[in-house]
Amino acid sequence: MNAATLYRRGHRLTRTAGALGLCLLLSAAFLGCSQPAPPPIPPTPENSAELSSTAIVPTLDTPLPENKSALWCCTFQMAWDELKTDVVKEPIRLGGAEEVAERLNKNEFSPGNLTEGSYYKTAGYNRDGVHDRIRQEMNRRFPGEPVIGLGDNPPNGFTAFAFLKVGLAFDRSYPDNPDAFRFKSSDGTETAVRSMGYLKETQETERLPRRVSVLYCAPWGKGRTPESFVLDLDNNSKPNQLLLAAVERQATLQKTLAAVEEKVADNRRLKRETVFYPNDRLLVPCMKGHLDHHFNELEDKYFLNPEMNGLFIGTAFQSIAFQLDGTGVQLKSTAVIKDKDKDEGKDKPDVREPKDFYFNRPFLLIMKKRDAKEPFFVMWVDNAELLEKR
């Protein structure tokens, strides 16, 4: 029985009303903000295997399944990079998982895309005390954070570990929408969910142009709802940034990201709209959850690398906790790759009519350090499985 299974059995799975799990890790780095931190994420994780409409992908270029939400967090890639560099010392080859291993070998994640002090990563052989090192460093860097996924410590085994804790607090909280917000999934299913934002003109919306940026909006047509758009929900947030993009899904998260970046670049080049007007409206679904996931496609696969002769990956595990509401966003994630436990086998804007920026259909959520090259968390929200129900 691996460590993640023990962890799940020791914390019985309970699904709270209106809250479904994710697998990420947003934190409480709320510098220079007077707003209170959001309520804590439920500590009890959901098992990703119990979710029927959500996929957790190991890399951004993993093909996306039809009619499913998909999320990616950098922690698993970071753990893989540590295993490849410090233990295997060459690109990792796994029998029966060549394609996934090749994608992970190719898609390295640079810690330069994260803020200092928001993460910890390491890898090594158990005989050299890697488990003790992980626990000591986690206690020093992130006091009070549980260290999950390590399990037992067979002397001839190995462990790669990565942890991330980041967050973003909005300069001013978005008000909660008192009414049900109907989110329409790609298969046409509609679900009433909790949302936050602005439904009508108020004095509060006068403050929005200073904090919401319209990074892209499809050419103005008739009616309030643009065909596609990209928003920065708080352009003053530092060091991290939250982008939401109502765009068409591509074959992978990577290609969807590239499409968003191209639209934003064209918008900037053509000096198009970058202002959210007081008479515009905005609604965003709220999310809250905690998810444990095993990359089954990598588990129980033997290494083909000579350095790792006789060893195989017994656990390829990621835990992601994520929350988005009117106060901001939190993300926290742990990834563990290890052998089996010993007891197991600004120009003037265009004039236009008011717009409704409603994320009531599939959209892309991106978290990144502001001005960093790569994001650390990406999610395609295809359906309401991970949204808070109203």
> What CATH number does the domain containing 87 carry?
3.30.497
Give domain status of residue 386, yes or no: no
- Check residue 88 and give its pLDDT: 95
Range of the domain at 137: 3-12+19-58+69-169+287-338
Q: Quote the CA–CA distance of 101 and 154 in Å, as a whole number.
A: 24
189 and 74 within one domain? no
pLDDT, residue 16, reads 30
Query: Is 73 in the same domain as 136?
Result: yes
Do residue 116 and residue 207 come from a single domain? no
* Measured distance CA(230)–CA(47) in Å, rounded: 31
What single DSSP character describes residue 206? G
Do 155 and 273 fall into the same domain? no
| Residue 390 within any structural domain of the chain | no
Tokens coding 206:
């006068």
Q: Three-state DSSP class for 330?
A: strand
DSSP per residue over 233-270, as a string? Answer: S-TT--SEEEEEEE----SBHHHHHHHHHHHHHHHHHT
388 belongs to a structural domain:
no
Residue 87 within any structural domain of the chain? yes
Judgement on whether residues 366 and 265 belong to the same structural domain of the protein? yes
Instruction: Give the pLDDT confidence score for residue 208 in this predicted structure.
Output: 53
Q: Indicate whether 278 and 213 sit together in one domain.
A: yes
Question: Does residue 353 lie in a domain region?
Answer: no
pLDDT in tens, 284-309: 999 987 899 999 999 999 999 988 88
> 290: which residues sit within 8 A by CB, 6+ positions away?
21, 22, 41, 42, 43, 44, 45, 46, 319, 320, 321, 322
Same domain, 73 and 101: yes
> How, if at all, do strands 69-73 and 377-381 pair?
antiparallel
With 0-12 CB in 10 A as exposed, 13-18 as middle and 19+ as buried, what is 181?
A: buried
Ranges of residues in the chain with a pLDDT under 70 are 1-45, 153, 200-210, 220-222, 273, 341-352
Look at residue 63 and tell me if it is in a domain: no
Burial class from Cβ neighbours inside 10 Å (0-12, 13-18, 19+) for residue 272 reads middle
CATH number at residue 234: 2.30.39
The encoded tokens of residue 236 equal 């003053």
Q: What pLDDT score does 211 carry?
A: 81
User: What is the model's pTM?
Assistant: 0.84
Residues 104 and 140 in one domain: yes
Please report the pLDDT score of residue 157 as a whole number. Answer: 87
Domain count, the chain: 2
Shared domain for 87 and 233, answered yes or no, is no
Q: Are residues 296 and 165 in the same domain?
A: yes
- Residue 64 forms part of a structural domain: no
Strand, coil or helix: 68? coil
Is residue 303 assigned to a domain? yes
Q: Do residue 97 and residue 131 come from a single domain?
A: yes
44 Cβ neighbours under 8 A, 6+ residues apart? 11, 12, 13, 14, 290
Query: 106 and 234: one domain?
Result: no
